A = this chain, B = another copy of it.
Amino acid sequence: MNKTTGAVKGKRVVMVCGVPMDMANCPVRDVMDNIGGKWNSLMILSLADGPLRFSQLRRLIPDISQRMLTQTLRDLQRDGYLSRTVYPTQPPSVEYRLTDLGRSFLVPLKLFVDWSLQNHDAIRKARAEYDQVA
């Protein structure tokens, strides 16, 4: 089962699922913050098939506010998932494009998307049953 590695005292590293998990400074939690927000993963997916401009992303994701679109793009740019290119046209246009890092993330993200679509009904059903009992 879960056994702490006795290597270093004080380091809370646990073998989980065949992988060393650092419970104190957890890379998984760190990455999860990047894509666990309300719009982050959807943004990466939206750019999967090619670069898009700001206004194109707005139209593609109608529910997002202008503020959150900007902020989500900044966050993802900051952590290296996408790049921002300004074309000095008139009026100006800004293109957002997945980096190599961002594209490599599409592999696990795509698997997650597939799982969500397959099991979404089962989850909603479990939720409804739980709420009915309670």
> Are B101's CB and A122's CB within 8 A?
yes
Known A-B contacts A17-B49, A49-B17; the reply to A108 vs B106 at CB < 8 A is: no
> Are B120's CB and A19's CB within 8 A?
no
Assembly CA distance A21 to B26 (angstroms): 30
Copies in the complex: 2
Known A-B contacts A28-B41, A49-B16; the reply to A130 vs B63 at CB < 8 A is: no
Interface string of A109-134 (1 = CB under 8 A from B): 11111111101101101110011000
> How many interface residues does A have (CB within 8 Å)?
62
> Are B50's CB and A1's CB within 8 A?
yes
> Are A38's CB and B29's CB within 8 A?
yes
Known A-B contacts A16-B49, A19-B114; the reply to A120 vs B36 at CB < 8 A is: no
Closest Cβ–Cβ distance, residue A121 to chain B (whole Å)? 9
> Are B27's CB and A116's CB within 8 A?
yes
